[in-house]
Structure 1
Amino acid sequence: MIVLAIDCAANLCAACVYDADAGRELGRKVVDLGKGHAEHLMTIIAEALGEGGVGYSDLDRIGVAIGPGSFTGLRVGVATARGLALALKVPAVGVTTLEALAAEARQGFAGRAVLAALDGGRGEIHAALYDERAVLRHGPMVMTLDEAVRMATETMPVLAGTVANRIAEAAARRFDIGPLTPTADIATYARLAASKAPGVSPKPVYLREADAKPQAGFILPRTGG
């Protein structure tokens, strides 16, 4: 099975071609954009395919990071994955940033529970707890730092994500720490997408409303029939 994985959940705009049967990466392209995913994603996909010597017709599955993460980036990545899947008549599979970070944490701490937690802004933490068998137990959810500390103290998991150190410091206890990044390596998304059974089309995971909202004062009332 040849998988194309896409990640636009954070600053990175990334694509990877992965041979699931051989268990190896064929090609990748990763660019730290910050913004502008929509303008660059198709070029980045084309470069990853070219490096792997793979064409669109060779793809058997599309994997995509579905968040939590950047509102705009998630929309771009998921829309592209769904469009490609429809055009190529192959399944699209969503992978959350939290489960991808947890998977990377388990590479260094096998057989351990993982609390993956990201800074959601506005004092919020976006988190999910996975048990020793990588089964999701809680989340993805919004929680406060105090709530994250309580969960970490009760379960003593490996901590991963951008607020892992903050949770450990607030708990005043020693924890094993996994990746501290806002998203996982693109090959991790490819491996997880290959391992999942296809289901409904992927949708972005939004744990809170977008910061930008229409200005109601500028909306004109409807007139006429």
Structure 2
Amino acid sequence: MAALLLGIDTAFGRCSAGLYDMDAGRMLARAEPETGKGHAEQLFGIIDAVLAEAGASYGSLGRLAVTVGPGSFTGLRVGVSAARGLALTLGIPAIGVTTLETLAAAYAASHDAVLSILDAKRGEVYAALYGRDAMLLNGPAALAPKELSEFIVPAARARSLALVGTGGAIAGSALPDRDVVLLSETAAVDIAVLCRLAAGRDAVEAPRPLYLRGADAKPAAAAGLFAMTGESAPQSP
């Protein structure tokens, strides 16, 4: 039987699931609807549909992958809680991957330096800097745009700096002396990229939401999901 990986992403407006054949290195089925809110109510229906499309079942899964943030507080808790709960129930590993890495990885093979950056509001951005083949050079971090010049120093030798994410225009304005290429201004995670990244790494610990800063108020946890204690809430980007 093929080694199957189920990828889950609820970090932003999409409620996504995808099934990946780790032996063949290809997607078997995927669904990435723009749902806005309501991830908790829709996620398992989407997962069920993806499994059915591929003729697979929960029992045939060998690994799970989930985006851990930064992103929407409620969305992250829904996805991470679902992945942890399934991993515990099925006795399989779950791999957490940051949204910043997933956004950058789609372009890292063709650029020497990629700055994955999200508009975090309140005068800040969430950023992570990657080299060729998505090698992490700095971050992830929450910082003010004026701090980006120092943040990208590890990529100083790169001819140009590729920008991806909703904070791309902010970074371009904050780096007037840097040769930048704006590739994408969205926060839409490609579920296939998430699956590919998770398939190539080992599970070290259970995934946890990546919160780069606290929020003004703490929303209630999504009802009926796997509990995660001791975590502060972020402001959604």
- TM (norm. structure 2) is 0.84
- Structure-2 residue corresponding to 1:221: none
Q: Quick check: 152-161 or 164-173, which moved more? A: 152-161
**Whole-angstrom distance in 2 between the partners of 1:61 and 1:170:** 40
Structure-2 separation of matches of 1:48 and 1:61 = 15
Partner in structure 2 of residue 188 of structure 1: 193
1:201 is aligned, of 188, 202, 206, to 206
- Compare 147-156 and 20-29 and name the one that shifted more: 147-156
Which residue of the partner structure matches residue 164 of structure 2?
160
Do the aligned residues in 1 keep the contact of 2:161 with 2:179 (CA within 8 Å)?
Answer: no
Alignment match, 2:87:
85
- Check the 8 A contact 2:105/2:133 in 1, yes or no: no
Instruction: Give the root-mean-square deviation of aligned CA atoms.
Output: 1.7
Distance 1:211 1:29, change over 3 A: farther
Does the 8 Å contact 2:68/2:76 carry over to 1?
yes
SS at match of 1:177: strand
Is the CA contact 1:101–1:179 (under 8 Å) kept in the aligned structure 2? no
Structure-2 separation of matches of 1:104 and 1:177: 14
Q: Which has the larger radius of gyration?
A: 1
Alpha-carbon distance in 2 for matches of 1:192, 1:213? 31
Match of 1:25 in 2: 27
Tell me if 1:119 matches 2:119: yes
Q: Distance in 2 between matches of 1:15 and 1:4?
A: 7
Verify the 8 A CA contact 1:113 1:132 in the aligned structure 2. yes
Question: How far off its partner does 1:145 sit?
Answer: 0.9
Superposition deviation, residue 184 in structure 1: 1.9
Contact 1:104–1:184, Cα closer than 8 Å, also in 2: no
Q: CA deviation at 1:199?
A: 1.0
Over 4 Å off, 4+ runs: none
The change in CA–CA distance for 1:89 and 1:213 in structure 2 (over 3 A counts) is: closer
Gaps of 5+ in 1: 215-225
**Which residues of 2 match residues 1-225 of structure 1 at below 5 A?**
1-107=3-109, 109-110=110-111, 112-152=112-152, 155=156, 156-172=160-176, 173-213=178-218
The structure-2 alpha-carbon separation of the partners of 1:213 and 1:92, relative to structure 1 and needing over 3 Å to count, comes to closer
Contact 1:130–1:136 (CA under 8 A) maintained in structure 2: yes
Q: Which amino acid aligns with 1:82?
A: R
CA contact (8 A) 1:9 1:183 kept: no
Whole-Å Cα distance in 2 between the matches of residues 15 and 44 of structure 1?
7
Q: Which runs of 5+ in 2 are unaligned?
A: 220-237
**Aligned AA (1:169):** S
* TM-score (normalised: structure 1): 0.88
146-155 or 39-48, larger mean C-alpha shift: 146-155
CA contact (8 A) 1:149 1:168 kept: no
